[in-house]
Amino acid sequence: MKVISAPYEFNTDDLFVDLEGIFGQRLLLKCEGFNFAGSIKLKAARAMVDAAEQAGRLRPGYTIVESSSGNLGVALSIVAASRGYRFICVTDSRCTLAARQFMQTLGSEVHIVTAPHRVEGLLGARIERVRELCAENGDYVWINQYVNPSNWQAHYRSTGPEILSAFPDLAVLFVGAGTTGTLMGCARYLREHRPSAKIVAVDAFGSVTFGGPAAPRMIPGLGSGVRPKLLDDSLVDDVVIVPETDTIRSCRTMARSGFLFGGSTGTVVAGATTWLAEHSLAQAGPAVAVAPDLGDRYLDTVYQDQWVEGLYGRDAVEGQARAASS
């Protein structure tokens, strides 16, 4: 029996889904959404707040401020509510309605940016607004997930060891790239403890993280309009770029087998299955992908036919129907 007194004290660390029966490829999915935040971001949120408290930057009565496309905002809302802080999340129109309502239900304020920064897009506009809020209020503290070392250290201490403990003979690990905190934490741990394992980053089409041109992205989570300062390319063996239609296809394929995962997870799985189709692992060991989130917050977007058709055209929906019947 497990008894907790704070919501961030619970997380399912050792649950993996075997996707071979769904995609026909040997791929194990580490599920990180079974906690009160519904995503892997709870690990980083707790670690960054802990570090701010220990450094004396965050004190009783202070307000936490952060830019987020959704999942980290939800996670920080939980940590803030449980520790008695106010929290302001600066997001944009891509943040799902479910994520916004979740944050507001816990007492957080949600500021929505609609006009993109002229160079750095919506992310740049969000960060600009965070800086304005902190400049105007001396008791506001920006956690700053984009440069905060506690972001990647959380995964160096937890996610990386959890994967290697379950699969000591790991051959390849697929991790989505957002702020790259999860990616860098896992990569650093594996470089030290399983250097033969390949680290494959999965990014969204339109993200500039790995040098590609910027393009509109409508599914929140992975990708960035600004190159992440946490990223160290030398720790990454390969990169897969995933179009959003492939994200949707991957999510819906898993849903037909009863697994409802989020958009970030759909992107990671789409990238992993694409990479595995092009590379033979033979008997090198298992392939593992990190699933950052669950799908309940994407019911009105990724899993909604009208939303998909409105953004990607009828073929995106009809293609799913054809795949389901084949």
What's the pLDDT tens digit per position in 55-109? Answer: 999 999 999 999 998 999 999 999 999 999 999 999 998 898 999 999 999 999 9
Contact call for residues 158 and 58 (beta carbons, < 8 A): no
Listed residue (233, 243, 208) closest to 121, CA to CA: 208
Contact call for residues 176 and 221 (beta carbons, < 8 A): yes
Q: Which helix (H) or strand (E) holds 190?
A: helix 181-193
Inter-helix orientation angle 97-105/71-83, to 10°:
10
Per the domain annotation, does 23 fall within a domain? yes
| Chosen domain end from 116, 142, 168 | 142
Report residue 321's pLDDT band, with 50, 70 and 90 as the boundaries.
low
Helix (H, G, I), strand (E, B) or coil at 114: coil
Say yes or no to pLDDT of 326 above 90: no
Per the domain annotation, does 1 fall within a domain? no
Per the domain annotation, does 84 fall within a domain? yes
- Same structural domain, 164 and 278: yes
- Same structural domain, 168 and 260: yes
- Same structural domain, 260 and 287: yes
The mean pLDDT of 237-244, rounded to a whole number, is 97
Question: Which one-letter DSSP state was computed for residue 308?
Answer: H
Per the domain annotation, does 224 fall within a domain? yes
- Same structural domain, 47 and 24: no
The dihedral built from the CA positions of residue 207, 46, 153 and 10, taken in this order, carries a sign that is: negative
Given this model, what pLDDT does residue 128 score? 93
> How many CB atoms sit inside 10 A of residue 274's CB?
18
The mean pLDDT of 167-195, rounded to a whole number, is 97
Given this model, what pLDDT does residue 121 score? 82
- Same structural domain, 132 and 193: no
Per the domain annotation, does 181 fall within a domain? yes
Per the domain annotation, does 2 fall within a domain? no
- Same structural domain, 154 and 239: yes
> Tell me, what amino acid is at 175?
V
CATH number at residue 56: 3.40.50.1100
Given this model, what pLDDT does residue 284 score? 79
Query: Phi first, then psi: what are they for 294, rounded to 5°?
Result: -100, 175
Per the domain annotation, does 121 fall within a domain? yes
Segments forming the whole domain that contains residue 182: 7-36+149-325
The dihedral built from the CA positions of residue 235, 156, 27 and 221, taken in this order, carries a sign that is: negative
Report residue 33's pLDDT band, with 50, 70 and 90 as the boundaries.
very high
Say yes or no to pLDDT of 282 above 80: no
- Same structural domain, 294 and 181: yes
**Whole-number Å distance between alpha carbons of 190 and 197:** 7
- Same structural domain, 54 and 175: no
- Same structural domain, 159 and 201: yes
pLDDT digits 0-9 by tens, 245-260: 999 999 999 999 999 9
Write the DSSP assignment of 64-76 as a string of letters.
EEEE-SSHHHHHH
The mean pLDDT of 6-28, rounded to a whole number, is 96
| Chosen domain end from 123, 142, 161 | 142
Quote the radius of gyration of the chain (alpha carbons, Å): 19
| Chosen domain end from 142, 170, 193 | 142
Residues 6+ apart with CB under 8 A from 241: 203, 204, 205, 207, 210, 212, 271
CA distances from 232 to 165, 184, 185, 204 (A): 24, 7, 11, 18
- Same structural domain, 27 and 55: no
- Same structural domain, 179 and 202: yes
pTM comes to: 0.94
- Same structural domain, 170 and 122: no
Report residue 164's pLDDT band, with 50, 70 and 90 as the boundaries.
very high
Per the domain annotation, does 250 fall within a domain? yes
Domain count, the chain: 2
